[in-house]
Every structure is written in structure tokens, then in C-alpha cells.
């Protein structure tokens, strides 16, 4: 505390009007907080964390290790005791003013405030926390006798508990929050309480941290503004045709199928980073699907519905509108997985309407699903199945929370500290606004996708049942290009590579972009930010492929644009939405993208 800051008992110069107003706000907010918690619908226990079976396995393995190898376990404990005891002594000396605390712990962005290094109390809290975290992670790593899948899950959820208990997550041990409270005479805490109550009210009493200022954006006004028209609509989708910006376009049209877990405008946030606008500017006739945001009436919609009333319907409409026999396609994430299923089905039926396919961050082989695999065991999936059976859909809350926990310090604890302890307004960040604008998932489709594709990996095994056919990866034989992202925590790039490697196409291109699930795809050439890898050889392992790959500076967009142009035919006069004779139904971005269905 500096000399010009007030001590807790110093009331000199207190702004009594401000204090009274804050007390009134606290009383009002406390009432709203109580009401929000009272109205809480509650989340079934099976969706709150892994089942007890995992912890029982871990305890059994630990006790077995203690019995069979006690020296190893005692050594691990003694190392931790030694570190904590030595530091406790150092901290006592530091508090007595003998010397500054020694600190050899690794740098951690959570502890950026200088007080974590210089103040004996905060340094003691930080070091003891990091010693404990190291001990817990080491104990898990040393466990033997656990199935690899169980050990991976235990490691993940162990780290979640460790991250949750960081001293930065508590007001009494967060110097940034306490300094801000003193500086603002408590105003930051009042503002933080208001932010907390607002987020609870928005999610029926469940806590989901708001990441962006929702008042800063409006879809169709300052994001998702590329001109176009809705040219077809059914209960599953709106089909948007974008207005050309070139006098001529390639004859073969392009359809993008975005994921229906989120909304399509991730590819059209702003003009400077809009993949949609960039594609149009390259001379392609572009159609983009905007999926409906389902409510409980969509309970019986399954993967077959998305294929038949989504993919096949859109392909049929684009062929009619452009008077072409073939189309090019793009599938992003889950939409790429389903595009693969559609192509397999079309192969079985002898339908040759698709000229080429591009897959963005797409998994089709789930034998090793990466980080997200920790949520694919029966304990979670049984809970999801019970949830959708009861309610007809999986509320967007669950998917948003799950993906956030894959990067909990960045997407949960860090934003919570800023919002609730520092009282900051969430930033006006278009990407985070989109991230919070999720969609619900139909009940039947959710179970079919999670059980049949993710958990049982039936497509890669060659026996995924759909619409009377047994579908296999080897059926996907159209020319294809797959783009994966190196640090993707949702669709692991190695799993993506393994899936594409098993596809039956003789004309395959694989591009590995730097960065993650979103930034690696929304990577315009003008930014000159993330590079990419290419390798024409399809080696048995993704590690070998990357080791032999060539790195290229800058975005992969131009490389893909050249690949796509070679498969898109001659140039023809540009097509304008509505010139096919069918009147446009609504201007882009359409109506489905703005809908807020009943829960």
C-alpha cells in the first residue's frame, strides 16, 4: 500500500454519496443474485464432471503403487515436503525482513503482478501453489496400472482442479483485484458483482462467463455484412448466395457448409478478415448454408436429416440456380465430418454432383480424438443422452462450457477475474462475440454423432449406418483438400490427417496451418501472421508427414484458391442472386442466424 492510499480504518475524505449509492446497488444486486440462484434449474450431476468410476480407478492404482513400490511414492512425497518446508522458512525470514524470498518457480502469466515476486505473503502463496501443482501432476504421471484413456482423463481433470484452485482465482489472494478495489474505493467490486449477477441471470442461474460486450455488435450491421441474398429456405437451413464482385466467375459454384454448433459468420466477421468476401473477390459463385438454431421441436432430427434436408437439398438447389451439373463443397469441423458422410452416401447411390471437397479442421477418424476425448466416455455421454431425452435438445450452454474448459485459464478463469474481481466490461471483440453466440443441438443428432462417430468411431471402421447404407471413409473418392490447424484443441490435426489418409480419393492435398481451430482458418493474407506446412507425400504417421513438410510464410488461402480454381471450370458471366428466376427471400445474413429459439 502506498503512503497516499487510505488504510481500512481511515474515513477521512470518504465520498459518502458514492458510498451510499454503492450500498444501495449492493442491496439491489444481492436481491437479484438470490433470485437468480433460486430460479436455477440445475444441471444433472453426470454433466458436471467425470463419474466416480474414474476416481475409484485412480485411487486403486495409487494404493497399488503404494503397496508395490512404497519407496517411489515416499520419494515423491518427501521431495514435495522438502520444497514446501524450505520455502516456508524462507518466507518467515522474508516477513521478518531478513532477506527477499528466493523464487526459482517458472514464469506463469497468471502471476504477472510484481507483488507475486516481491511481497513475502503473495510470493509464499504463489510458490506453495506451484509446488502443490507440480506434486499433483507428478503423482498422476507416476501412476501405473491405469488404462491409457483413464490416465489421460485423470491428467486432464487433475489439471482442471489445480487450475481452479490457483490463488489468482480468489479475491483475498489476488493482488490485482485488491489494488483495484482500493484504487476505486470498492467500485470495482460492485461492478464485478453486477457482471456476475448479469451472467447468472442470462444462464438460468448457471455460471457461464461472458467473454465479449454483446452491445458492441449486431449481426448484419457491423459483422456478417458481405452482400448477398437468401435464395432458398427449408426447416433446416437458409441458403445464402453472395453478390459477385467480379465481372466473370468460375463456372462451377462453391457451397460452404459451416458447423451447426456455432454460426456461419465466423467466416464473415469483418471485411478485412472475411473468408467469405475473399472467396467472392477471387471470382467464385459462393453459396453458404446458415443452419437453423433448433428448439425442442427438433428432438427427432438426426444425422440423416442434416444430410438429406441440409447437404443434399443445398447441392440440388445450387445446381438448379446455376444450371450446373456439379458443385464444389467445403465442410468446416462437424460439417466437414458430415460432408464426408454425405460423399460416402452419394458414392453408394452413384450421385456424382460433387466435383471436389475441402475440409476445414475436420475429424473423421476418432480413434485418438485428442483433448476433447476426455468428454467422450460413458459417464458424460450417458448424462447427455439423458438430458436430450428429457428436453429434446442439447442447450448451447453445455457445448460452450465444454469447449471453454479445454482452455480454462484463457476462457474461464482469466475472463472471470477481469469481469467479477476487477469489474471490467468484457471487450468489444468480434471473435469472442461470435464464440458466445452458440446454437442448440437436436436430441437424436447429438446422440448419433457422439455415440456412433466420436465414441465408437464407426465411420473410420467402415460401418456407420445412415439412410439404409453402411458408410465408410474409403467411399470418399472425390478430389479433396484438407486444412488442419497445428494447435487445434477441438479437432486435433493428427486425427484429421489420419482420417483424410484413409479416404479413397487419389487426388488429396493436406495443408497444416499454424495456430488453432479458428485463428488458423480465419487467417487472411493481409495479416501476414500465421504460416502453413505442405507435403505431397502421404506418410503413415502425421509426425513423419510434418517432419518432411515444407513451411511457407503467410496464409494458406491463396494456395487453396489456386487449388480450387483448377477444379472450378472456365470463366462465365457473373451470377447475381435472383437471376435464376427465383425471388430472393431475405438479404444476407438471413433470418436463421438471428433467431433465439425457445429453450
Q: Kindly list the catalytic residues.
A: 333
Residue that is written with C-alpha cell 460439417 in the block: 335
331's enclosing H/E stretch is strand 327-332
Q: Nearest 5°: CA angle at 360, between 383 and 532?
A: 125
Grid cell, residue 147, equals 488404462
d(CA 386, CA 395): 13
- DSSP state string for 387-409: HHHHHSEE-HHHHHHHHHHTTHI
- DSSP state string for 550-580: EEESS-SHHHHHHHHHTTS-SEEEPP-TTTT
CA distances from 490 to 48, 168, 589 (A): 19, 27, 26
Grid cell, residue 292, equals 437453423
Q: Are 376 and 367 spatial neighbours (Cβ–Cβ below 8 Å)?
A: no
**Chain centroid to CA 322:** 35
d(CA 32, CA 28): 6
Grid cell, residue 194, equals 453486477
294: how many CB neighbours lie within 10 A of its CB? 25
- Contacts of 382 by beta carbon, 8 Å cutoff, 6+ apart: 46
Residue that is written with C-alpha cell 489468482 in the block: 168
276: how many CB neighbours lie within 10 A of its CB? 25
Q: Are 581 and 232 spatial neighbours (Cβ–Cβ below 8 Å)?
A: no
d(CA 5, CA 18): 18
Grid cell, residue 434, equals 461470435
d(CA 384, CA 44): 9
d(CA 22, CA 353): 65
Q: If you count them, how many residues does the chain have?
A: 599
d(CA 260, CA 230): 17
CA distances from 384 to 31, 166, 308 (A): 33, 29, 25
Grid cell, residue 79, equals 521431495
Q: Are 250 and 568 spatial neighbours (Cβ–Cβ below 8 Å)?
A: yes
d(CA 356, CA 479): 5
CA distances from 365 to 339, 473, 586 (A): 14, 9, 38
d(CA 579, CA 321): 8
**Chain centroid to CA 520:** 13
Q: Are 230 and 586 spatial neighbours (Cβ–Cβ below 8 Å)?
A: yes
Grid cell, residue 594, equals 438471428
Strand bridging mode 237-242 / 228-233 = antiparallel
d(CA 6, CA 35): 35
Amino acid at each position: 500500500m502506498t503512503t497516499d492510499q487510505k488504510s481500512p480504518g481511515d474515513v477521512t475524505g470518504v465520498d459518502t454519496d458514492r458510498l451510499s449509492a454503492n450500498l444501495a446497488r449492493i442491496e439491489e444486486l444481492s436481491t437479484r443474485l438470490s433470485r437468480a440462484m433460486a430460479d436455477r434449474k440445475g444441471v444433472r450431476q453426470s454433466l458436471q464432471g467425470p463419474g466416480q468410476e474414474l476416481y475409484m480407478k485412480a485411487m486403486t492404482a495409487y494404493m497399488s503403487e503404494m503397496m508395490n513400490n512404497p519407496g517411489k511414492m515416499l520419494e515423491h512425497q518427501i521431495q514435495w515436503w522438502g520444497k514446501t518446508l524450505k520455502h516456508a522458512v524462507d518466507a518467515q525470514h522474508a516477513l521478518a525482513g531478513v532477506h527477499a524470498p528466493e523464487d526459482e518457480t517458472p514464469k506463469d502469466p497468471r502471476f504477472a503482478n510484481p507483488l507475486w515476486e516481491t511481497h513475502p505473503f503473495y510470493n509464499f502463496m504463489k510458490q506453495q501453489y506451484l509446488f502443490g501443482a507440480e506434486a499433483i501432476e507428478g503423482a498422476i504421471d507416476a501412476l501405473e496400472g491405469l488404462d491409457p484413456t483413464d490416465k489421460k482423463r485423470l491428467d486432464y481433470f487433475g489439471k482442471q482442479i489445480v487450475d481452479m484452485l490457483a490463488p489468482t482465482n480468489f479475491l483475498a489472494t489476488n493482488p490485482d483485484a485488491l489494488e483495484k478495489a482500493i484504487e476505486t474505493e470498492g467500485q470495482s467490486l460492485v461492478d464485478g458483482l453486477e457482471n456476475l449477477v448479469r451472467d447468472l441471470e442470462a444462464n438460468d442461474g448457471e455460471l457461464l462467463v461472458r467473454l465479449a460486450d454483446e452491445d458492441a455488435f449486431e449481426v448484419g450491421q457491423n459483422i456478417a455484412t458481405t452482400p448477398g441474398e437468401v435464395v432458398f429456405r427449408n426447416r433446416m437451413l437458409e441458403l445464402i448466395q453472395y453478390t459477385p464482385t467480379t465481372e466473370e466467375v468460375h463456372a462451377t459454384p462453391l457451397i460452404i457448409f459451416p458447423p451447426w454448433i456455432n454460426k456461419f459468420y465466423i467466416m464473415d466477421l469483418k471485411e478485412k478478415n472475411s473468408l467469405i468476401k475473399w472467396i467472392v473477390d477471387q471470382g467464385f459463385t459462393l453459396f453458404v448454408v446458415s443452419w437453423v438454431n433448433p428448439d425442442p421441436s427438433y428432438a427427432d432430427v438426426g444425422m440423416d436429416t442434416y444430410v438429406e434436408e441440409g447437404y443434399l437439398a443445398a447441392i440440388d438447389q445450387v445446381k438448379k440456380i446455376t444450371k450446373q451439373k456439379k458443385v464444389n463443397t467445403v465442410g468446416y469441423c462437424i460439417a466437414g465430418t458430415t460432408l464426408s458422410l454425405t460423399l460416402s452416401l452419394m458414392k453408394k447411390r452413384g450421385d456424382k454432383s460433387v466435383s471436389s471437397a475441402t475440409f476445414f479442421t475436420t475429424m473423421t477418424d476418432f480413434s485418438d480424438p485428442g483433448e476433447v476425448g476426455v468428454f467422450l466416455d460413458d459417464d458424460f455421454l450417458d448424462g447427455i443422452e439423458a438430458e436430450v431425452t428429457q428436453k429434446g435438445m442439447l442447450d448451447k450452454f453445455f457445448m460452450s462450457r465444454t469447449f471453454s474448459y479445454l482452455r480454462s485459464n484463457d476462457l474461464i478463469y482469466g475472463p472471470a477475474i477481469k469481469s467479477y474481481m476487477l469489474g471490467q466490461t468484457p471487450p468489444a471483440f468480434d471473435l469472442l462475440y461470435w464464440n458466445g453466440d452458440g446454437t442448440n443441438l437436436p436430441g437424436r443428432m447429438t446422440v448419433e454423432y457422439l455415440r456412433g462417430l466420436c465414441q465408437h468411431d464407426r465411420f473410420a471402421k467402415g460401418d456407420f449406418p445412415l439412410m439404409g447404407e453402411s458408410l465408410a471413409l474409403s467411399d470418399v473418392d472425390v478430389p479433396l483438400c484438407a486444412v488442419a490447424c497445428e494447435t487445434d484443441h477441438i479437432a486435433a490435426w493428427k486425427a484429421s490427417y489420419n482420417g483424410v489418409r484413409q479416404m479413397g480419393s487419389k487426388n488429396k492435398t493436406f495443408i497444416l496451418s499454424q495456430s488453432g481451430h479458428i485463428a488458423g482458418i480465419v487467417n487472411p493474407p493481409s495479416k501476414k501472421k500465421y504460416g502453413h506446412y505442405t507435403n505431397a507425400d502421404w506418410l503413415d504417421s502425421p509426425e513423419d508427414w510434418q517432419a518432411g513438410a515444407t513451411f511457407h510464410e503467410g496464409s494458406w488461402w491463396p494456395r487453396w484458391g489456386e487449388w480450387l480454381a483448377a477444379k472450378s471450370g472456365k470463366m462465365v458471366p457473373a451470377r447475381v442472386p435472383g437471376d435464376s428466376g427465383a425471388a430472393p427471400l431475405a438479404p444476407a445474413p438471413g433470418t436463421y442466424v438471428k433467431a433465439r429459439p425457445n429453450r
